[in-house]
Amino acid sequence: MKTYPKLLIIAGSDSGGGAGIQADIKSAGACGAYSATIITAITAQNTLGVNAIEGVSPQMIANQLTAVMDDIGADALKIGMLHSKEVIEEVAKHLQHYKAKHIVLDPVMVATSGDPLLQEDAIQALMHQIIPQAEVITPNVPEMELLLGETIKNTTEFSDYARALAEKFKVSVLLKAGHLKGDKSVDILFNVKTKQITKLSSPRITTKNTHGTGCSLSSALASYLAQGFSLEDASQKAKTFIYQAIKAGGDYKLGKGSGPIHHFYKLGD
């Protein structure tokens, strides 16, 4: 009997379909995994921005987790938007109960504007209850700065920040370079178990269609981990997927603002 590589996604919903759990599902499907979902919040958003957010109750989140894990289970998990301390505590409790493995945490803490998305108590709960259970976290530069408590000063030593973050939280780190400048986008993977640094490089593409890249990268990574790839191989495959999806999506127009990437570029135009 055949079985699917199973990815459980814990994240918020994007009504515009470009980011959040919708982008996660598309990425998982494109990268070969079956996705089950735990919706933590509902957003009213489009390519121009987020108009409203309504959180799902911790009890309903717990009910979703129990329903999925008791029946389907998961080979890997991707965690995105967790909007409150109470939700974080509920999710952390269930991860521990089910001995969840291959957890990829996209620490959604800072808006594109630079404003924090979580209150301080929620940030502390994320640091102390979710990150210790993760196999790898995938912060961008503002999130890295918040977690480390310092501002990036020298981009030529980008890998040092990934190492510092990994050593502080005892977790592997895929540090994303999207906020930096240059002809190439070079993400840094620091494997906390082997102390190995892997540079994941791709040409930087000039396009406004980058909505949901962070969600999609972390879901792609988790999808490949669910299929048994090593952290290094899964990260490289996820990086390649995102590069190709951004490249393919650059020629499209959807909405009036920042459009999505093309998750299903492999299917052709």
Active-site pick, 16, 20, 55, 214: 214
Active-site pick, 213, 237, 249, 259: 213
Active-site pick, 6, 210, 239, 259: 210
157 exposure class (CB count in 10 Å sphere: 0-12, 13-18, 19+): exposed
Active-site pick, 78, 176, 237, 239: 176
The helix/strand/coil state of 10 is strand
CA count, 13 A, side-chain hemisphere, 13? 13
Active-site pick, 16, 212, 249, 259: 212
Active site residue 214: yes
Beta-carbon contacts of 9 under 8 Å, excluding residues fewer than 6 positions away, are: 21, 24, 25, 28, 35, 36, 37, 38, 77, 78, 80, 219, 222
The helix/strand/coil state of 68 is helix
Active-site pick, 215, 237, 249, 259: 215
Active site residue 212: yes
Q: What angle do CA 38, 44, 46 make, to 5 degrees?
A: 110
Active site residue 181: no
Give catalytic residue positions.
176, 210, 212-215
